[in-house]
Amino acid sequence: MLTQIERIRTKIESGERLTAADGEFLFRSEVDLHAVGELADVVRRRKNGNVAYYNVNAHLNPTNVCVYRCPLCAYSCNADDPRAFVMSMDEMLARGQEARDAGCTELHIVGGVHPEKKYEWYLEIIRQLHRAFPQLHLKAWTAVEIDWFSQLTGRPVESVLEEMQSAGLRSLPGGGAEIFNPEIRRQICPRKADATTWLHVHRTAHRLGLRSNATMLYGHLETTAHRIDHLLQLRQLQDKTGGFQAFVPLSFHPENTRLIPKGTVPFSLQENRDSPQIVHRTSALDDLRTVAVGRLMLDNFDHVKAYWVSLGLGTAQVALAYGADDLDGTVRRERIHHAAGAPSPEALSVEQLQNLIREAGRDPIDRDSLYQQVGVRP
Ligand code: SF4
């Protein structure tokens, strides 16, 4: 008589798709984490052999002013807050220059949705950066931002994406997905684009030939059933479009947000913030299990990222043995996760990324934004 983990192993080995019940079982803490990781590693190896990817990239966050002010967000603020900033076009072009000089192949551009900035400002950012640095792949605007542009202009998502594409946008990042469950969203990000809208933006982008990524923010109020539901919705869309490149699990960091970690002094109350919530913190064990279950459930995704900014360097490196095949990038100038207390460094060098990968027993591949190997660097 096979145990449940043995039955799942048989499915994995024969390439059979896992069910929601399988996924929920794998999330149970009494199920041996190493066994789950081993299964995920079987899938990773089948898809990506012995390589692990990294990318030389930089982040650009044009503004932190955002109309939505999601309780989960440590990054955004109101326009009159002393922390508020809006970058000028010259500053953004200087960032593009800095990225090019550093050998970056990609600029990752996301930020807040500023109540006074018109759609043309966002379009112009893409147009001018692309004109000045055509060799930089512009991976820009989350589905939340694209939906905002659609609201601002009164035009369909498709029309906005087409115009952005003509201006130089080359792919979409995966942010804003958080957790698709509407009840959890109501508490962590009640006003921004809902799950249906997020999926619609990505579906439309894929139809236009744009590739994108998909994130899942975990470790706040959600249950493992919510995580599985999120993964299944991603899998379903990927079945239809094939446009997702990578799944990016993001571990939630509560510092400076309006969600209070369990077992801590309710600092949010002391500071008279509104709508505090009780959340649980993730552990390295939960991080590794989530990476592994993501790898196992998303059988139609080629890549799973261990985003070191969110997971921390040690866990990201270990995650390469739990189903992940990509450490993401050098990530210069990341502000969003660091604002929420991510203890990871500000940036990594190519050498550091290569060492992390080699120490994990993999061969490092310098990739571009579409997972093509970058030639030998000067
Ligand atoms: Fe704005 Fe995004 Fe922060 Fe929400 S998570 S407040 S949409 S920047």
* Residue-level pLDDT, tens digit, the chain, 378 residues: 779 999 999 999 999 999 999 999 999 999 999 999 999 999 999 999 999 999 999 999 999 999 999 999 999 999 999 999 999 999 999 999 999 999 999 999 999 999 999 999 999 999 999 999 999 999 999 999 999 999 999 999 999 999 999 999 999 999 999 999 999 999 999 999 999 999 999 999 999 999 999 999 999 999 999 999 999 999 999 999 999 999 999 999 888 888 876 665 444 443 444 545 566 678 999 999 999 999 999 999 999 999 999 999 999 999 999 999 999 999 877 777 677 667 777 789 999 999 999 999 999 999 999 999 997 665
- 90 by Cβ neighbours in 10 Å (0-12 / 13-18 / 19+) ranks as exposed
- Maximum distance among all Cα pairs of the chain, rounded to whole angstroms: 67
| Distance from C-alpha of 142 to C-alpha of 140, rounded to nearest angstrom | 7
Neighbours of 318 (CB within 10 A): 19
Is the residue at 279 inside a domain? yes
Q: What is the pLDDT of residue 58?
A: 94
For residue 64, the ligand 1 atom closest to its alpha carbon is 8
- The structure tokens listed for 351 are 């050498």
Is the residue at 302 inside a domain? yes
Is the residue at 347 inside a domain? yes
Does residue 76 have its Cβ closer than 6 Å to ligand 1?
Answer: yes
Does residue 112 have its Cβ closer than 6 Å to ligand 1?
Answer: yes
Is the residue at 7 inside a domain? no
Structure-token match 């059979």, residue found: 16
For residue 72, the ligand 1 atom closest to its alpha carbon is 5
Is the residue at 376 inside a domain? no
| Distance from C-alpha of 270 to C-alpha of 253, rounded to nearest angstrom | 19
Does residue 74 have its Cβ closer than 6 Å to ligand 1?
Answer: no
Closest Cα to atom 7 of ligand 1: 68
Is the residue at 373 inside a domain? no
Neighbours of 7 (CB within 10 A): 13
Most ligand 1 atoms within 8 A of CB, residue of 63, 70, 188 to mutate: 70
Is the residue at 294 inside a domain? yes
H-helix segments, 217-303: 224-241, 267-270, 284-297
Q: Domain total for the chain?
A: 1
For residue 189, the ligand 1 atom closest to its alpha carbon is 4
CATH number at residue 117: 3.20.20.70
Closest Cα to atom 8 of ligand 1: 112
Query: Which residue range forms the structural domain that includes residue 178?
Result: 18-367
Is the residue at 2 inside a domain? no
Q: What is the pLDDT of residue 267?
A: 45
Which residue type does 293 have? V
- What is the Å distance from ligand 1's center to 71 Cα? 9
| Distance from C-alpha of 66 to C-alpha of 231, rounded to nearest angstrom | 28
H-helix segments, 55-139: 89-101, 119-132
Whether this model's pTM surpasses 0.75: yes
